[in-house]
Amino acid sequence: MRDDLSKILVDAELDKTKESTLPFHIPSKVFQSLSQEIVDFFSCEEEKVYYDCSYTLSKENRHSNNTNTKNKKGRVNATGKLQNAYSARRGHIEKKTNLLINLHPQVTQVKTDTPIFTASETLLDINCLLNKPEDLSDSEKYHIIENWMTSYSYRKQTYTEKGLDLIKKLKVLETDLAYQLISYDFKKTFDETENFHKNLLTEWAQSAEFLVQYAKSLSENTVKFDVPELNGNYIKVDYSNLDDVFLKIKISTDGNRVADTLAFLILPALIKHTFLSNQSSGTWKITKEKSTDSFMQHIKDHESLDTINKDYSKFLQSHSVQEPQPYVVCCGPLDALTCVHAVVGDIVYDFTTATEAVDFLYKTLRVLDIQYPVGCPHVWSYFQLIFKQKDRRVIAKNKCLELDADIKELKNKRQRTK
């Protein structure tokens, strides 16, 4: 399957070069990027299996018995599955069209007007993306991921729907592969210099503790009450009210497994955004409680999920909100969550942590061009701001910056006391 994947990726890249000044020439940096993307999808793989770039030997090694050297100057050829597929494909094209392609061309002259490379030759199976398969085998998942990666440009040109409409068109986005597929498009679309996923997973774990600490400093119940341990019990809390939070939840001995999720739940209350009613559009003046619920909800168990989703959907419809309003639902005790869900319209995605669910929803909002939910645009703007995504307007920018500055000050204070 490694060879098949490499052939499909190389064919797709060659197809892109047909109208360029260097047709059928793929730069090494493209191979490096492709090999990295493969490893991002399949963590068990190694980049060097797919591409190991050429290099020049040092002077003392130039005359060693190295069979990989290209010439006496000591240049070692690039290797790997992608390079092998590239060399084989170029050889096929040369033979088919009598087109001589220099490995390092300055000028390439095409000697025939006959089409020599068509999209159909990439073996693209778009149908596997249009259906919602059940019980996929590993090879079937691999096949879908291959075609998703190679069809990026085609999909962007062909499927212009947005949001839930695009999910309904590309039904593979209704499966548990959606996280991987959306993450791939997010990286391709925004050409991120820093990986949002890695930043959220690493930096949130560090910031959550300080966010909770900062929230406790704003609560009047920090010292007044002896709060019992959670001990795996579900406790109903109004997360929009910090006094209620710290009256009922003790986090000092529970560690980051509580802080990570709790920080998400109280984040809307920490960014003090003022909502205005907009009667012309039929929307409502959003309360603090509803703002929190529109970002993340915490319920007793998974069995309550359908009821929560139906009630929230009816509430949105009663206020003339037509666009999907994605949100996260955490199930079970705060210190021992049984499951976490990301809800997009009538589709429910399953995750093990709140961090994964938030990461998925942020990327979904951006990739599918969904406006930030009307109840919590300031929360999603906060993630956009702190992780340096600059292409969409930030809501409540000053409030987000103030909170970020306060958290950084707490971090610096701890560093100074060490």
* Confidence (pLDDT) at 325: 92
Q: Mean of the per-residue pLDDT values for the chain?
A: 78
* Confidence (pLDDT) at 162: 93
pLDDT in tens, 83-127: 888 888 766 654 443 333 333 333 333 333 433 334 333 457 888
Q: Angle, nearest 10°, between helix axes 81-97 and 28-41?
A: 130
* Confidence (pLDDT) at 16: 77
The DSSP letter of residue 252 is T
Instruction: Quote the CA–CA distance of 144 and 41 in Å, as a whole number.
Output: 12
Q: Tell me how far apart the 2 most distant CA atoms of the chain are, in Å.
A: 85
Q: Which amino acid is at 237?
A: V
Q: Which residue has the tokens 């210099």?
A: 193
Indicate whether 4 pLDDT > 80: yes
* Confidence (pLDDT) at 236: 92
pLDDT in tens, 369-392: 999 998 899 999 998 887 776 667
* Confidence (pLDDT) at 197: 62
**CA distances in angstroms from 292 to 57, 288, 320, listed in the order given:** 59, 6, 19
pLDDT in tens, 117-168: 343 334 578 889 999 988 888 888 888 998 999 899 889 999 999 999 999 9
Q: Cβ contacts of residue 322 below 8 Å, gap of 6+?
A: none
Instruction: Quote the CA–CA distance of 235 and 8 in Å, as a whole number.
Output: 52
pLDDT in tens, 21-63: 555 678 788 888 888 888 888 878 888 888 887 555 554 554 4
In percent, the amount of the chain with pLDDT more than 70 equals 74
3-state secondary structure of 274: coil
CB atoms within 10 A of CB 226: 6
* Confidence (pLDDT) at 416: 80
* Confidence (pLDDT) at 22: 57
- Closest CA relative to residue 266, chosen from 306, 207, 223, 314: 207
Instruction: Quote the CA–CA distance of 107 and 94 in Å, as a whole number.
Output: 16
pLDDT in tens, 208-225: 889 998 998 888 655 444
Instruction: Quote the CA–CA distance of 196 and 99 in Å, as a whole number.
Output: 43
- Closest CA relative to residue 329, chosen from 208, 320, 312: 312
Mean pLDDT over residues 9-19, rounded? 77
pLDDT in tens, 160-213: 999 999 999 999 999 999 999 999 998 888 865 556 666 777 778 778 889 998
Q: Which two tokens stand for residue 29?
A: 């940096």
Q: Angle, nearest 10°, between helix axes 28-41 and 2-16?
A: 140
3-state secondary structure of 75: strand
Mean pLDDT over residues 266-289, rounded? 71
